Structure 1
Amino acid sequence: MSRPALTRARAALAAVLAPALAAVALAGCAAPSAQDAQDAGPAEGAPSADGAFPVTLEHAYGETTIEAEPQRVVAWDWSTQDAVIGLGVAPVAMTTYTYGGDDEGVLPWTADALAEQGLETPQLLTYGAEVPFEEIAAAEPDVILAVNSGLTEGDYATLSQIAPTVVQPGDPYVTPWQEQVELVGAALGRSAQAEELVAETSAAITAQAEANPELAGATFAYASGDVSTGQLSLYVPGDVRVQLLTELGMELSPYVEQNAPGDGAFSYLVSLEQADQVSSDVLVAWFGDQAAVDAFTADPLVQRVPAVASGAFAPVVGESFVMATSAVSALSIPWALEDYVPLLAEAVRASGRSSGSAG
């Protein structure tokens, strides 16, 4: 970043964070409360990070050095909190999920993991179009992790004035779940545990793939169920939704790959007038509720999608189920597989495709 840009970022930071930092300063003279100690840092019995620091991590906007084992971790984006908690560390603050979360705004598999480890629910950060810089600063983090985010370089510059910040390594929102765990593991000094978590989650996926051989080689297109604009949104190679299906042995439709614009976005639009060209064995799409599914399948243009016409349609229905298979993480995958794989296998069977045949 150029010096003028950095100067502007610092000026913006001062203006944005002044009220929050003033409040922190007033409270900062007091010793941390017992609740702070309970909520922050490693879970009881978690391995230490001896010898792991300092560590320097590369990401989309450069590199970040973490000098010592973090004790106050802020997780900001769709799924970073799951990697942090999965490695036995309680964030001091994490994203609120109004879509798919419980009454507090916590996703069910995240809540389960917190409960299993005896950890309190962290402070929940407001999620919206703007990053809640004041809330993040007030949490007094010593590291900010956002490894599957869409943060801009300006956001990164501002957050880095609060604490060392590690953002997405490449394009926004497409960091593979394995890489999320590995990056967070390195940032927390828990690379060995990260390897174990990746291995355990991969084993769960492999077991489901082996138990459902009809998935192997079946082609799919993955879409958003909202066609109110007269367009179908298709997810591209590299998107985390697509990745999970390929790990189960399925193959992305050649149509989707050939027409993907390659512009770094995780999806692209196809006119419903061309829906009959979206060729695949199976169509997967997500919906908040059954009423949205019914509206989708009632659309005459949607009915021209070959997989829909053949009954090889796999609707992912319900906000939590949607988040588990969209904000894919090492914690959401085991939670989702029990319902997800039978849904996919049923759609493959409906396609009339036999195991191992071409799509």
Structure 2
Amino acid sequence: MKTRFIPLLLAVTTTAALVACSDDTSGTTAGTSGSSGAASGADSASGADSASFPVTFTSPFGTTTVESRPQRVVALGWSDQAVATELGADVVMAPQTYSSIGGGGSGAAGGDGQDGTAQDRMLPYLHPDTEPVWFNPMSIDVEAVAGQKPDIILATSAFTIDQDTYDKLSAVAPVVTYDRQLYAASPEDSALRIGEALGEPEKAGELVDRAHRAVEELTAALPGLKDRSYVYGQYRGTSIAAVTDSDNATARFMSTLGLVPAPEVAGIDAKGRTPGTVDLSMENIDLVDSADLLFMTFQSDDDRRSFEDSATVKRLTVMEDCYTALDKETATALQDPNVVSVPWLIEQLRPALEKVGH
């Protein structure tokens, strides 16, 4: 299994990373109240005065208890960082952006991001008052995390955490990860789980509502999106890895906009190396022309040029007006949409969506 991050298809230590199911049961038990935590977070967010502590979370790695409202927060995943920051938490350590590690643009090679500005490393839709200590999310340095003296470690979207790392981090502070598997929870459930952990269930509910409004406003403005088809893929030289699984986190988000994976591509008998995808051979690239929209991401600018300069690709009708090459941060946000990123993500996709949505 590859360990290099790919914005479209995150290669992680679990083979089920992209097989996302929407029926998450967030596995929390709040203090003395006996409430069910983030699984019933909508009720908590709409009516509770404050979260009850201690609150206990279950995960594939074990059980952890947050005894009191955390003050210092380490976020190990981008969604953890986004939601915690928007909830007003003091995020003292966070992952730098993928583009600050691997270069900007649609896939340009780059350094480790240490020469960039704070805004280079900050998620483009976040604007906190203070800058956290940054770390490279490709690996987790337990000693560096411990050095920040956190009260809680959020890892609901940490794609490099494993049992050994979880055990070591648990000796530092309570570690709140995903309930069942990476990317299996909906953005709403993930936000409510984080809100429960930070003692801000009502604010988390407000973030969920804001994301819902952004989607509703877009679909109202672009009713023609309903049942339009798309291909979202990453070029890999001889093939395209295309998202097709309706339970995939990316596909679930696209479905909220009314879009469906192009059936001609989704139906091919070529299961991808990454769960939830198919490997579409460049020999069969004509199938992409069945889609109303084509979104592509690339590991390098050379890959993008190779794809766009291909004679067979140039012949595709979809390339004339309905093709969009996503930059790395948009691709990263689309990989695992969170309730904070959704309004921003919609605006990044909007120029393409408007081509078929009116």
Tell whether the structures are fold-level matches, with TM greater than 0.5. Answer: yes
- Judged with a 3 Å threshold, the aligned counterparts in structure 2 of structure 1 residues 302 and 166 are, in CA distance, closer, same or farther, namely farther
In the aligned structure 2, how far is the partner of 1:80 from the partner of 1:120? Answer: 17
**1:137 match:** 146
In the aligned structure 2, how far is the partner of 1:164 from the partner of 1:245? Answer: 34
**1:280 match:** 291
Structure 1 runs not aligned, ≥5 long: 1-47, 350-354
Alignment map for 1:1-359 (pairs within 5 Å): 50-99=50-99, 103-104=117-118, 105-110=121-126, 112=127, 114=128, 119-128=129-138, 130-150=139-159, 151-173=161-183, 175-224=185-234, 226-228=235-237, 230-235=238-243, 236-255=245-264, 257-258=266-267, 261=271, 265=275, 267-278=277-288, 279-287=290-298, 293-303=304-314, 307-308=318-319, 311-316=321-326, 318-346=327-355, 348=356
> Aligned-pair RMSD on alpha carbons?
3.0
In the aligned structure 2, how far is the partner of 1:131 from the partner of 1:291? Answer: 30
SS in 2 for 1:79: helix
Residue 234 of structure 1 aligns with an amino acid whose one-letter code is A
Residue 227 of structure 2 aligns with an amino acid whose one-letter code is G
Q: Is the 8 A contact 1:99 1:320 kept in 2?
A: yes
Residue 258 of structure 2 aligns with an amino acid whose one-letter code is G
SS in 2 for 1:238: coil
**1:5 match:** none
Cα deviations by residue, 1:148-205 (Å, 9 ceiling, x for unpaired): 2222223222222221111123333454322221110111111111111100111011
170-179 or 88-97: which moved more?
Answer: 170-179
In the aligned structure 2, how far is the partner of 1:234 from the partner of 1:221? Answer: 7
Cα deviations by residue, 1:284-305 (Å, 9 ceiling, x for unpaired): 1124787754432222454576
Q: TM-score, normalised by structure 2?
A: 0.71
Cα deviations by residue, 1:205-264 (Å, 9 ceiling, x for unpaired): 11011101111110112112x332x12111233333322221111122334554585998
Residue 269 of structure 1 aligns with an amino acid whose one-letter code is D
Shift of 1:323: 3.3
SS in 1 for 2:334: helix
**RCO (CA 8 Å, sep 6+): is it higher in 1 or 2?**
2
Q: Is the 8 A contact 1:287 1:322 kept in 2?
A: no
Residue 343 of structure 1 aligns with an amino acid whose one-letter code is A
| Structure label with greater radius of gyration | 1
Residue 233 of structure 1 aligns with an amino acid whose one-letter code is A
- Judged with a 3 Å threshold, the aligned counterparts in structure 2 of structure 1 residues 306 and 64 are, in CA distance, closer, same or farther, namely farther
Shift of 1:95: 0.8
Identity among equivalent pairs (%): 26
In the aligned structure 1, how far is the partner of 2:117 from the partner of 2:345? Answer: 20
Q: Is the 8 A contact 2:291 2:318 kept in 1?
A: yes
Q: Is the 8 A contact 2:50 2:200 kept in 1?
A: no
SS in 1 for 2:99: coil
In the aligned structure 2, how far is the partner of 1:248 from the partner of 1:186? Answer: 28
60-69 or 211-220: which moved more?
Answer: 60-69
- Judged with a 3 Å threshold, the aligned counterparts in structure 2 of structure 1 residues 193 and 325 are, in CA distance, closer, same or farther, namely same
Shift of 1:65: 1.8
In the aligned structure 1, how far is the partner of 2:183 from the partner of 2:165? Answer: 15
- Judged with a 3 Å threshold, the aligned counterparts in structure 2 of structure 1 residues 288 and 337 are, in CA distance, closer, same or farther, namely farther
Shift of 1:336: 3.0
Residue 295 of structure 1 aligns with an amino acid whose one-letter code is S
Alignment size in residue pairs: 291
In the aligned structure 1, how far is the partner of 2:302 from the partner of 2:51? Answer: 54
Structure 2 runs not aligned, ≥5 long: 1-47, 101-112
In the aligned structure 2, how far is the partner of 1:255 from the partner of 1:292? Answer: 24
Q: Is the 8 A contact 2:322 2:352 kept in 1?
A: no
SS in 2 for 1:99: helix
